Amino acid sequence: MTVRLRVAPSPTGHLHVGTARAALFNWLYARHTGGSFILRIDDTDRERSTVEFEEDILDSLRWLGLDWDEGVGVGGPHGDYRQSSRYERYRDVASSLVESGVAYYDNRTPDELEALRRRAVAEKLHPAHYIRRPATAVTEGAIRLSVPQEEAVVFDDLVRGRVSFEARDIDDFVILRTDGTPTYHLASTVDDVDYGITHVARGEDLLPSTPKHIVLTRALGASQPEYAHLPLLFGTDGKKLSKRHGATSLSLYRDEGYLPEAVFNYLSLLGWSIDGDRTIFSRDEAVAVFDLVDVSRNPAVFDPDKLAWLNGEYIRAMEPSDFTRSARPHVERAVGRQLHEEEWAKFDTVSALVQERTRLLPEAGDQVVFLFEDFAEYDPAAWDKVMTKEGVAGILSSARDRLTKVDPWDAGTIETALRGMLEEMGLGAAKGLQPLRVAITGSSVSPPLFESMAALGRDKTLERVERAIGQLSGTG
Ligand code: GLU
C-alpha cells in the first residue's frame, strides 16, 4: 500500500500554527514512509475564503519546507484540488446516494426540526435521536445521510486508541444543502476517498466529525482510512491557544525573522518527541524515525518564549557567513537605508559577536545601528539606570583622555587602556564600563564594548563620549 496523506486548510485566515503542525506531521509521515503528501484547499466557505489567504498558506508551507507532491499549486492526477472546483462531483455523489437509498431528501423546516430536538431533550435523549428519515418521501430539499442504527461506530485511532460512538447519537446529517452546496462532511469525505487518502491526521477538534465521515465512507463503498487525531494546542496558561498568547500565524514568525528550521523543529515537538528530552534535531533525523503512533494524546503547549530560545540556538549554530548574509536585510531595515562596502566591512568585524547575542534576526539589526547612524536620543531606561549615578562624568572624562592616546585603535589596545583606568580609579567593570556603552550606543545592549569601539572608530567614539559629558553637564 502506498501511503497518501493530506493537509486541508481553509483559506479563511492565515496559516495557523495548529494547521502548520498538522501539515508537518502529515509531511513527516509521508516522507518517512516514502508516500505522498497532498495539499487540498477546503474553500467551500465562499464568503470567508480569499485568494490572499490561500497564497499565505502556500507561502508559509513552502517557507517551512513542507513540499507537497500533489495539490493546489503543483497539480496532479485529480485536477485542481480546491473544493470549490468540485461542486458537481459532490452533487453527483449525493444524488447517487439518494438513488441507492442510503440518503434522502428532507424539506422539513427549521421549526419542525427544532421541535424534534426539543422532544429529544425532554425525553433526555441525544438530540440526534429524532433527526431520522420522515415517513413520507419527498424529492426536494436538503439531502441527509441515513445513519445505520444497528451498530456502533468504532475505530482505532493511531493516537487515541479505540474510539467508539453510539450510532443513535449520530443524527442523519445533511450532506448537501438545499442550495446545492456540500457540507464539510460530504466534501471532505468524497475528496479523501477520491484522492485515495490512506491516513487522515488532523486536529482533535475534528474528532466529533469522524464517525460521520466513517459512515459516509462506508455508504460510498470505499475503504476506511486510518485516523490520527492530533492533540490540541494550548497556551502556557493552559487555555486553548489564541491570539492572546502571541502570534498564531506562521507568516508572522517568518516576518519577525524566525528561521524556518527552528520553527520546523519547534512545531515537531508539539505532541511528539524524537528521543526523550532531546529538543534539537534536524529535519532528516525527524523523517528517519517519525511515526503517527508515537504522537502523544496529551495536550501540547505552544510557548513562544521556548520557540524564541530555540531560534537563538539555531542562530548560534549557523555558519558565520550564513549568519552575516541572513542578518544583512535586518541590519539595513534597522539602519533605515542601504549600507555601502566599508560599512559592511565594519559589520563583519562584530558579526560573530552579534551572532552569539541574537535570538531573532531583527535583534542583530538593533544591536549595530549605532555603528552606522548617530542616535537621536539615549534610551531613557539605560540613561536613568547608568548615567545618573555618582561619578559618571569623571569616568567619562578619564576614559576620553585615555582613549585619545590609544594606538593602534583596536579592541585589544582599547581594552588595555580602559582596564588600566578601572584599576587606577578602583572601579569594577560594570560600574566603570556601562557608562561608556550608553555613551557610544545610546543603549545598554550592544556587542562587547571594546570591539564595538574598535568598529565605531576613534573619532566617532570620542565624539560620543564628549556628547555624553555635555549631556551630563547640561550643555549637551
Ligand atoms: N479544513 C479543515 C480545517 O482547516 C480540515 C479538514 C480536515 O482535515 O478534514 O480545519
- What are φ and ψ of residue 375, in 5° steps? -80, 150
Ligand 1 in reach of 43 Cβ (< 6 A): no
**Which ranges in 65-159 belong to alpha helices (H)?**
87-99, 110-122
**pLDDT for residue 475:** 61
Alpha carbon separation from 406 to 349, 398, 464, 465, 469 (Å, rounded):
19, 13, 16, 15, 20
6 CA: nearest ligand 1 atom: 8
Beta bridge partners of 161: 157
**In angstroms, what is the span from residue 76 Cα to ligand 1's centroid?**
20
Residue nearest to atom 3 of ligand 1 (CA): 9
**pLDDT for residue 244:** 84
Amino acid residing at 432: G
Helices 260-268 and 304-316: crossing angle in degrees, nearest 10, is 130
Can you spell out the DSSP letters for 385-418? IIITSTTHHHHHHHHHHHHHH-SS-SHHHHHHHH
CA 440 to chain centre: 37
Largest CA distance in the chain: 103
Ligand 1 in reach of 40 Cβ (< 6 A): no
Assess contact for 456 and 370: CB atoms under 8 A: yes
**Per this entry, what is the length of the chain?**
476
Whether this prediction's pTM lies above 0.75 is answered by yes
**pLDDT for residue 223:** 96
**In angstroms, what is the span from residue 10 Cα to ligand 1's centroid?**
7
Find where cell 513542507 sits: 66
7 CA: nearest ligand 1 atom: 8
Residue nearest to atom 10 of ligand 1 (CA): 9
At 274, the pLDDT band (50, 70, 90 cuts) reads very high
**pLDDT for residue 242:** 83
Ligand 1 in reach of 206 Cβ (< 6 A): yes
Rounded distance between C-alpha atoms, residue 400 and residue 35, angstroms: 68
Can you spell out the DSSP letters for 45-83? -TTT--HHHHHHHHHHHHHHT---SEETTTB-TTTT-BG
**In angstroms, what is the span from residue 26 Cα to ligand 1's centroid?**
13
Residue 121 is placed in which grid cell?
431533550
Burial class of 430 by CB neighbour count within 10 A (0 to 12, 13 to 18, 19+): exposed
Region 424-445: mean pLDDT is 95
205 CA: nearest ligand 1 atom: 10
Ligand 1 in reach of 44 Cβ (< 6 A): no
**In angstroms, what is the span from residue 195 Cα to ligand 1's centroid?**
15
Active site residue 243: yes
Rounded distance between C-alpha atoms, residue 415 and residue 394, angstroms: 18
pLDDT at 168 over 90: no
Ligand 1 in reach of 182 Cβ (< 6 A): no
Burial class of 338 by CB neighbour count within 10 A (0 to 12, 13 to 18, 19+): exposed
Question: Per mean pLDDT, which range of 272-276, 285-289, 348-352, 397-401 is the poorest?
Answer: 272-276
Ligand 1 in reach of 211 Cβ (< 6 A): no
**In angstroms, what is the span from residue 230 Cα to ligand 1's centroid?**
12
Ligand 1 in reach of 10 Cβ (< 6 A): yes
**In angstroms, what is the span from residue 188 Cα to ligand 1's centroid?**
8
Ligand 1 in reach of 207 Cβ (< 6 A): no
**Which ranges in 242-387 belong to alpha helices (H)?**
250-255, 260-268, 283-289, 304-316, 320-335, 341-356, 361-372, 380-382
Rounded distance between C-alpha atoms, residue 199 and residue 192, angstroms: 9
pLDDT at 205 over 60: yes
The helix/strand/coil state of 374 is coil
Rounded distance between C-alpha atoms, residue 314 and residue 375, angstroms: 30
pLDDT at 337 over 60: yes
Catalytic residue among 243, 306, 385, 389: 243
Ligand 1 in reach of 188 Cβ (< 6 A): yes
Ligand 1 in reach of 199 Cβ (< 6 A): no
Alpha carbon separation from 195 to 79, 157, 192, 377, 401 (Å, rounded):
10, 21, 5, 61, 77
**pLDDT for residue 476:** 53
Please work out, in degrees rounded to the nearest 5, the angle formed at the alpha carbon of residue 71 by the alpha carbons of 70 and 75: 75
Pocket test for ligand 1, best of 48, 184, 190 (most atoms within 8 A of CB): 184
Question: How crowded is residue 106: how many other Cβ atoms within 10 Å of its Cβ?
Answer: 21
Ligand 1 in reach of 9 Cβ (< 6 A): yes
Rounded distance between C-alpha atoms, residue 333 and residue 362, angstroms: 8
pLDDT at 78 over 90: yes
Rounded distance between C-alpha atoms, residue 187 and residue 195, angstroms: 12
- What are φ and ψ of residue 240, in 5° steps? -55, 135
**In angstroms, what is the span from residue 42 Cα to ligand 1's centroid?**
7
Rounded distance between C-alpha atoms, residue 368 and residue 445, angstroms: 10
Mean pLDDT for the chain overall: 95
188 CA: nearest ligand 1 atom: 9
What does the pLDDT look like over 354-380, one tens digit per residue? 999 999 999 999 999 999 999 999 999
Task: Tell which phi-psi region holds residue 180, choosing left (phi > 0), alpha (psi between -120 and 50) or beta.
Answer: left
What does the pLDDT look like over 229-251, one tens digit per residue? 999 999 999 998 888 888 899 99
The helix/strand/coil state of 431 is helix
**In angstroms, what is the span from residue 416 Cα to ligand 1's centroid?**
64
Residue nearest to atom 7 of ligand 1 (CA): 8
